[in-house]
Amino acid sequence: MPAALRDSLLAGLVAAALALPMLGVRLVDSATGLSLAGRFDLVAWAAGLVFGGRLLLRLIPPLPAMPVLPAGFGNLRPAAGWAMAAFAVLLPFLPFADRNVVDKATLVLIYIMLGWGLNIVVGLAGLLDLGFVAFYAVGAYSYALLSQSFGLSFWVCLPLAGVLSASFGLLLGFPVLRLRGDYIAIVTMGLGEIVRVILQNWQELTGGPNGISGIERPSLFGLSFKAVPPEGQRSFAEFFGLDYSGDHRVIFLYFLILILALATNLFTLRIRRLPVGRAWEALREDEIACRSLGINPTTVKLSAFGIGAMFAGFAGSFFATRQGFISPESFTFMESAVILAIVVLGGMGSQIGIVLAALLLVGLPEWFRELQQYRMLAFGGAMVLIMLWKPAGLLSHREPTIRLDGQP
Amino acid sequence: MTPSLLDVEHLTMRFGGLFAVNDLSFTAGNGEITAVIGPNGAGKTTLFNCITGFYKPQEGRIALNHPDGRMALERLDDHAIARRAGVARTFQNIRLFPRMSVLENLIVAQHTRLMRASMFSLAGLLGLRRYRRAEAAAVERARHWLDRTALTRFADDEAGSLPYGHQRRLEIARAMCTEPRLLCLDEPAAGLNPRESAELNRLLLDIRADEGIGLLLIEHDMSVVMGISDRVVVLDYGKKIAEGTPAEVRGDPAVIRAYLGEPDEAETG
């Protein structure tokens, strides 16, 4: 007990020392010029809170461990995946799903897709990429520019954006090849920022900070979602004999990103069981052992970078067509950090874990917008709690990609 | 004498001013077990790293006689040495893929063959029969080596969760799954108990007999060296001080001196 008290006192003192310069003084703009004013009540609050919190932590028993999942849970996973997919398909038709819900679900799905794309690079190949948003940006700008300059439709631009992003991924992959671990993170972070700065400054091409607006919306096999379809096109509502509603496009976009995301997922599930996918995981585990087995790490790393970037490119062009407007502001480092947090929190390599993490990190803050700035506090708190409870991520269990007696 | 498999000629590897391997020449035969021994710091692992391409020697040549022709290993990248020349290795401090299953470790070892069969995974992505057949063959080869190393019942466990001795055997099985012509083992008996060590001897002798490949072995455990090797190369300070059959090397005064130190002149004289 005295030990707990001493420990808490020490923590309180440290908090006071930290709070003094950060909270304790304030610049006051008065008639005579700037002067300092004390806010010692805040310092006292901070120190008191830390002291009390620390004491509480010491006195109450440690956090209970998360309930251990029953052993059979591994077999439930595909079922859980199917259930989630079914729910996602039905979502727009559920009674509570208004336009707002579907719109937010679309946003979450973008991040799920980005998470699944980055998972190839970080979760499988083990290359810590902090500049993933660059490929997302390349995809978005590819679509916007191709569509505006050459009048190409979304369906033509989507694969083109993927190809462009993938080539960009290969290009940016080269400088990273010789690096390991943390150094990869630093270099990719720099590359990501370079891309953003180029987009911001290349006025003639990208429109600079003003971005590109009026980006063409996608059509469904030539059926437009506009109230007044352009000449030579029919509108979706007219074709199916419905009354025009703006919701149609929202739901269409939702299904579009759902299909794109599920395609990403299927691809990853499949490639994990193929030589390339296994080589990615082997590279994450031990690069030197890989080389001793005749695996060329260069091609393995580049393929991971390229394929991850391709999916980011798809997601980027979807983002551009959904927003109708893009600017460099959408592609800041914060985006990379959120996508990486989704992958890490989900449990590095777990597909379902990424869905849960994306719901948590993107969905919750969106739904709790009313809480205003406190939602960021809750966001940080949630991350700390998850890392305390599940340091390896929400779902860190890994199923072998092949079993001796038959497929898993 | 069997035709030589590996010819090392005048190999020199320096780190700054230190000669880790100094003008070393020896040959290793096909279907033979060649042991490289020597006190700590004699340059044995450096020699291995030169042969397997992890280091590039400053001088000398390392040639492997392959059915496709003589290959200059010092000019190839490490992964190309494993892939094209068929040199497989194990590591002094085991390097498995710890979070992957035992079977996956053995499948990854067959990467080159599977990549070719799956046309860089495209055929696999489309689920063509061609890839499925190749994968089944890879599983069979893995099963063969699991049986030989008595690891079959651990096939679906994480490699990192295996006991130490099992991990050593798994690393050998993984190297054998690449179907090498030359297998380089860096202290395979380190940390094994006498029974495991005897099992290892039997495994290595079986590999030599059944596969007809060359084995190059760094070892400190003299029961392994003397028990199974056909020829022994002794290094000290990067130089070769003796070479011959185990019996010859055992009686060599230079070897005794290297291991036990110079007799003290003042005391004996």
Stretch A78-96: mean pLDDT: 83
Please state the domain extents for chain A: 2-59, 78-389
Per-residue pLDDT tens for A278-326?
999 999 999 999 999 999 999 999 999 999 999 999 999 999 999 889 9
Least confident of A214-228, B100-114, B196-210, B248-262: A214-228
Is-contact B96 B160, C-beta < 8 A? yes
The stretches of A202-274 forming alpha helices (DSSP H) are: 203-206, 236-239, 247-271
Nearest CA-CA partner of A288 in B44, B188, B260, B90: B90
pLDDT for A361: 83
**Residue of higher predicted confidence among A192 and A61:** A192
Which positions in chain A touch B156 (Cβ < 8 Å)? 400, 403-404
* Euclidean distance between CA atoms B49 and B45, whole angstroms: 6
Give how far B219 is from chain A: nearest CA, Å.
20
**pLDDT of B136 over the 50 cut:** yes
CA distance A167 to A70: 44
Q: Are strands B33-37 and B239-244 parallel, antiparallel or unpaired?
A: unpaired
Give the residue from A292, A299, A310, A396 with the most B CB atoms within 10 Å of its CB, the best one to mutate: A292
User: Vertex A304, ends A301 and A307: CA angle to 5°?
Assistant: 145
Pair A347, A394: CB distance under 8 Å: yes
- Close Cβ partners of A2 (under 8 Å, ≥ 6 residues apart): none
Phi and psi torsions of B62, nearest 5°: -125, 110
Which of A366-370, B121-125, B227-231: highest mean pLDDT?
B227-231
Q: Is the pLDDT of residue A114 over 70?
A: yes
> Residue A213: what pLDDT?
87
Residue B269 pLDDT > 50: no
- pLDDT higher than threshold 70 for residue A64: no
Q: Are B141 and B110 in contact (CB under 8 A)?
A: yes
Which residue shows structure tokens 């890879």?
B138
A149-153, A214-218, A256-260, B171-175: range with lowest mean pLDDT: A214-218
pLDDT in tens, B53-88: 999 999 999 999 888 888 888 888 889 998 888 999
What distance in Å separates residue A82's CA from the closest CA in chain B? 21
List the domain boundaries for chain B.
1-86+181-269, 96-179
Look at residue A76 in the predicted model and tell me its pLDDT.
Answer: 65
* Identity of the residue in B79, B118, B135 whose CB atom sits nearest the CB atom of A294: B79
- In this structure, the strands spanning B87-89 and B182-186 are parallel
Q: Which of residues 29-68 of A touch B (CB under 8 A)?
A: none
Q: In Å, how far is A108's CA from the nearest CA of chain B?
A: 28
Q: What is the mean pLDDT of residues B97-101?
A: 92
Q: Quick one: pLDDT at residue A74?
A: 52
Residue range B170-184: average pLDDT? 93
Strands annotated E in A183-304: 212-213, 223-224, 234-235
Looking at residues A34-41, what average pLDDT do you find?
Answer: 83
User: 3-state class of A132 per DSSP?
Assistant: coil
pLDDT at A372 over 70: no
pLDDT band at A71 (very low <50, low <70, confident <90, very high): very low
User: Across the interface, do A293 and B152 touch by the CB < 8 Å criterion?
Assistant: no
Matching residue, tokens 């970080």: A122
pLDDT(A144) > 80: yes
Q: At A86, is the secondary structure helix, strand, or coil? A: helix
* Model pLDDT, residue B1: 47
Check whether B27 has a pLDDT greater than 50.
yes
Q: Which residues from B are below 8 Å from A402, CB to CB? A: 101, 103-104, 107, 135, 139
In this structure, which topology does domain B1-86+181-269 adopt according to CATH?
Rossmann fold (3.40.50)
How many Cα atoms sit within 13 Å of A404 on the Cβ side? 19
Chain A positions in Cβ-Cβ contact with residue B125 (cut-off 8 Å): 267, 270-271, 274
Q: What is the mean pLDDT of residues B6-33?
A: 90
Q: Is B144 helix (H, G, I), strand (E, B) or coil?
A: helix
Q: What is the mean pLDDT of residues A327-334?
A: 90
d(CA A391, CA B205): 46
- pLDDT at A196 > cutoff 50: yes
Q: How confident is the model at residue A72 (pLDDT cuts 50, 70, 90)?
A: very low
Interchain CB distance below 8 Å, B120 and A293? no
Q: How far apart are the C-alpha atoms of B189 and B220, rounded to whole Å?
A: 8
Query: How many helices and strands, by DSSP H and E, does chain A display?
Result: 17, 6
Q: Which residues, in sequence order, are CB contacts of A365 under 8 Å at separation 6+?
A: A375, A376, A378, A379
Higher pLDDT residue, A230 or A402? A402
Q: Which of B91, B97, B122 to mutate to test the interface with A (most CBs of A within 10 A)?
A: B97
